[in-house]
Amino acid sequence: MSRRATVSAIDLIHGRGFLNGWSHKSGILSPVFSLFSSKAFQPKQPRIDFSCVKELNDAIGLFQKMKSMQPEPSVLVYNKLMSVGVKIEQYSFALDVFDEMLRMGVPVNVYTMTIAVNCCCLLKDINSGVAIMGFFFKSGYEPNVVTIGTLINGFFLVDKEAEAVKLFEKVLDLKLCKPNAVMILHVIDGLCKARQVIAAHDWLHRLESNGCRADVWSYNALIDGFCKEGKMEEAGKILETMTQQNICPDVVTYSSLIDGFCLRGEIERGKQLLDLMAERGLKPNVVTYNSLIDGYCKVGTIDEALHLFLEIPSKGLKHNAHTYSTMIHGLFEKGRFVEGWKLFEDMEAQQVHPNLHTYNILLDGLGRNGEIEEALSLLRMIEVKGFTPDIVSYGSLIDGLCKNGKRDVARDLLRELPSKGLQPNVWIYTMIIHSLCQEGSMEEAECLLVEMKNRGCGPDRVTYSIIIRSLLKRNELHKATSFMEEMRQKGFSADSATSSVPTDRAEEQSGDGFFLKLMKNLAPKKIVS
């Protein structure tokens, strides 16, 4: 795109700063008002089978065919093609259709513009969405609750929560339209996903006080937001309010609550909710089971997790990639590698396609089990299958290499990361520093620490503790003291293993009590006391 509108939500409402023209390719939008459809007579339209469109090439072929049809397809037909483009997630194609409609002089309507704005938002090109909307208003169309709601959602999609809220406030202040359930959902869900759950709660209360009624989806978004923050009491209060408003909790409501309890390790409360769902005639979905399986795995009751895993097909449900990945990871955590791999084989047999998260779990499992060659082979296979290994993939592999004495290979992988568009994080640096300290290569470990800092990756409490502990064991008091002071200045406390390192000889060397005082300042309170 050659040009972009750079206007805010407030400019949009006041009609300021719009481009006279726009195109998602050329930056041109014809300002001729005649391009907008009227209720004029339309000739009988040819029948078009949109069900044949399964992928981009199908859509392009149909588009070319439509352009040569006589009589020319109406705006309704072109709108349908744009909608099909959205359905198959080919948003740029839908905008191509929009451009071509304008070029050919096909009259566009409110629905056309809304689809175009939505495509810009889904492509995270919010400025172009604003430009289309601005021209839309300037051409004489009244603000539409669906179109404005789409733009509000677009601001949230590009993490511009403040702009989204400003636009929503203008909708209310200027009474541009009455917010419907979908617009309210965009605001509540957007704020919750931005971790502004309290603000979302305040907005819901304000809206309902002013006669705007939220639906079950908005309440579910708010409950899920509180659950993800571990605030189960607040989530429970929202559930009470929901029922007082005669809005019935559904499977999504209960699934969020179950997930919240499982995240806090309160698995039995989650299981009680599962039983309550059955009593109320609600059928759990695979997401519900995934939360419980994950909860059982995290608290180490792997057999309970397996029981639920095996129960899923009997409930008429199918395991998905998340179900398998969670269960495989749980088995690996318990050292049950053979069972984990059998489950992966079953996953492939059931034609449930692994995702990158699944492969990362397998890489981690192979590393833990000392199967390094197999892990390296799997990394190559991941790329062949069309996945791009991420920092977690390489981190799992580097961890396995370090734990199995292949530190040189681990360091080679570390050096390769920038060429793959990845930057090592504190976890990866710390793993290699730890392995260097274990083999007594303190100079290399300290050099890597310097490199880490120079690359803008700050050491954390664990990194410092590993270095300090190794120096203390080697009686290198002055170096250890320097790192301890640096650690203190950054506000970190030493871990229990570092604080419990015998310091008698070191204290004798320092003679002035400074070392012991510094150690006490760094030690966790429970150790000092």
3-class secondary-structure state, position 28: coil
pLDDT of 133 above 80? yes
101 and 233 assigned to the same domain: no
In the three-class reduction of DSSP (H, G, I as helix; E, B as strand; rest coil), residue 490 is classed as: coil
The one-letter amino acid at 147: T
60: amino acid identity, one letter:
I
Least confident span in 68-72, 241-245, 282-286: 68-72
Residues 77 and 202 in one domain: no
Average pLDDT for residues 154-160, to the nearest whole number?
Answer: 96
- For 389, the 3-state DSSP assignment is coil
Residue 349 lies in a domain: no
Q: pLDDT at residue 19 above 50?
A: no
Residue at 428 is within a domain: no
What residue type is assigned to position 294 of the chain? Answer: D
Tell me if 3 sits within 8 A of 164, measured CB to CB. no
Residues 124, 225, single domain; the answer is no
Helix 302-311 with 321-333: angle, nearest 10 deg: 160
Co-location of 234 and 140 in the same domain? no
Closest to 478 measured CA to CA, from 432, 514, 450:
514
Q: Tell me the average pLDDT across 500-526.
A: 53
What mean pLDDT do residues 142-169 have? 93
Q: What single letter denotes the amino acid at residue 146?
A: V
Mention every residue, 6+ apart, whose C-beta is less than 8 A from residue 24. 1, 92, 95, 96, 98, 99, 120, 125, 128
Please indicate whether residue 135 or residue 388 has the higher confidence score (pLDDT): 388
Alpha helices in 68-160 (DSSP H): 75-87, 91-104, 110-122, 126-138, 145-157
What average pLDDT does the segment 60-73 reach? Answer: 87
The reply to whether 34 falls in a domain is yes
pLDDT of residue 138: 82
Sign of the torsion formed by the C-alpha atoms of 235, 241, 245 and 249? positive
Domain boundary residue among 154, 177, 200? 177
Asked if residues 425 and 391 have their Cβ atoms less than 8 Å apart, the reply is yes
Question: Scanning the structure block, which residue is given the tokens 């995702």?
Answer: 355
Position 490 scores a pLDDT of 85
CATH number assigned to the domain comprising residue 89: 1.25.40
Lowest mean pLDDT among 363-367, 415-419, 477-481: 477-481
Same domain (yes/no): 53, 29: yes
Confidence of residue 20 (pLDDT cuts 50, 70, 90): very low
In a domain, 521, yes or no: yes
Q: Which domain holds residue 120?
A: 1-177
Q: Do 217 and 80 reside in the same domain of the chain?
A: no
pLDDT digits (tens, 9 = 90+) for 94-111: 999 999 998 888 888 889
Residues 172, 182 within the same domain = no
The position carrying tokens 């909608």 is 83
Task: Kindly state the average pLDDT of the residues 498-519.
Answer: 53
Compare 511 and 341 and report the one with higher pLDDT.
Answer: 341
Interatomic CA distance for residues 53 and 372, integer angstroms:
45
- The predicted pLDDT at position 3 comes to 32
Residue 342 domain-assigned (yes or no): no
For 207, the token pair is 């809206």
Does 145 lie in the same domain as 28?
yes
Q: Give the Cα separation of 365 and 363 in Å (integer).
A: 5
Q: What's the confidence (pLDDT) of residue 519? A: 56
Asked if residue 147 and residue 3 are part of one domain, the reply reads yes
Q: Which tokens go with 315?
A: 């409930």
Domain stop point among 142, 177, 212? 177
Q: Are residues 122 and 90 in the same domain?
A: yes
Q: Are residues 88 and 222 in the same domain?
A: no
Residues 6+ away with beta carbon under 8 Å from 407: 401, 432, 435, 436, 439
Poorest-pLDDT segment among 63-67, 207-211, 243-247, 492-496: 492-496
Q: Do residues 430 and 460 make contact, with C-beta atoms less than 8 angstroms apart? A: yes
Non-local (6+) Cβ contacts of 418 within 8 A are none
Q: Does residue 21 carry a pLDDT above 60? A: no
Task: Give strand pairing partners of 36.
Answer: 108
Pull the structure tokens for residue 404: 């199995």
Residue whose C-alpha is closest to residue 407's, from 389, 425, 426, 433: 433
Domain count, the chain: 3
| Arithmetic mean of pLDDT over the chain | 86
User: Is 210 part of a structural domain of the chain?
Assistant: yes
The two tokens of residue 357 are: 């998260």
What average pLDDT does the segment 486-509 reach? 63
Q: What angle do CA 472, 478, 480 make, to 5 degrees?
A: 40
Does residue 82 sit within a domain? yes
pLDDT > 70? residue 418: yes
Q: Going by C-beta distance under 8 Å and a sequence separation of 6 or more, which residues neighbour residue 122?
A: 86, 91, 154, 157
Say if residues 473 and 444 touch (Cβ distance below 8 Å).
no
Domain boundary among 177, 201, 217: 177
What is the rounded CA–CA span in Å between residue 329 and residue 336?
10
Amino acid at 252: V
Q: Dig out the tokens for 522 from the structure.
A: 């760094």
Mean pLDDT of 72-80: 91
Cβ within 8 Å of residue 252, ≥6 positions away: 216, 217, 220, 224
Question: What pLDDT, on the 0 to 100 scale, is given for residue 39?
Answer: 44
Instruction: Assess whether pLDDT exceeds 70 at residue 354.
Output: yes
Q: How many CB atoms lie within 10 A of CB 166?
A: 18
d(CA 483, CA 468): 7
* Four-residue CA torsion sign, 201, 207, 211, 214: negative
pLDDT value at residue 23: 52
On whether both 109 and 236 belong to a single domain, the answer is: no
Residue 179 contacts residue 208 (beta carbons within 8 Å): no
Split at pLDDT 50, 70, 90, the class of 153 is: very high
How many Å apart are CA 193 and CA 197, to the nearest integer?
8
Position 294 in a domain:
no
